[in-house]
Amino acid sequence: MSDPVLPPLSQQLPSAALAKASNPTAEDPLRKAAIDLEASFLAEMLKAAGLGESRDGFGGGAGEDQFSSFLVRAQAEQMAKAGGIGLAESLYHALKETQNVQD
């Protein structure tokens, strides 16, 4: 028996739901704040691990040293948006609970 072939996601969801699924931070400032905080945390962890440091053998010079922090931050942001280490999701739920308590 063969597996059923599912239609593309664009045919399964209404366009509004698809837009939200492709960019969950567009409407939710709490989720965006949580992802930004996770990205900052990941950037610091990547720096501590040595990502972005100049390598003597490859040699990027002063330019590499000056712009490596931008690369590390961009990589951390992409990691956080892709799910990261789960910190953003935990922060989001904690912020949401705090907001609901204060309402």
Residue that has been written with the tokens 């308590």 in this structure: 101
Give the pLDDT band (50/70/90) at residue 19.
very low
Residues ≥6 apart with Cβ < 8 Å to 71: 52
Residue 25 has pLDDT above 60, yes or no: no
Residue 7 belongs to a domain: no
pLDDT at 74: 93
Q: How many domains does the structure of the chain reveal?
A: 1
Other CB atoms within 10 Å distance of the CB of residue 56: 5
Residue 6 belongs to a domain: no
Residue 9 belongs to a domain: no
Please provide the size of the chain in residues. 103
Residue 17 belongs to a domain: no
Average pLDDT, the chain: 77
Q: What domain range is 47 assigned to?
A: 25-102
Residue 49 belongs to a domain: yes
Whole-angstrom distance, CA of residue 32 vs CA of residue 20: 13
Model pTM score: 0.63
Is there a contact between 47 and 4 (Cβ–Cβ < 8 Å)?
A: no
Residue that has been written with the tokens 């922090």 in this structure: 69
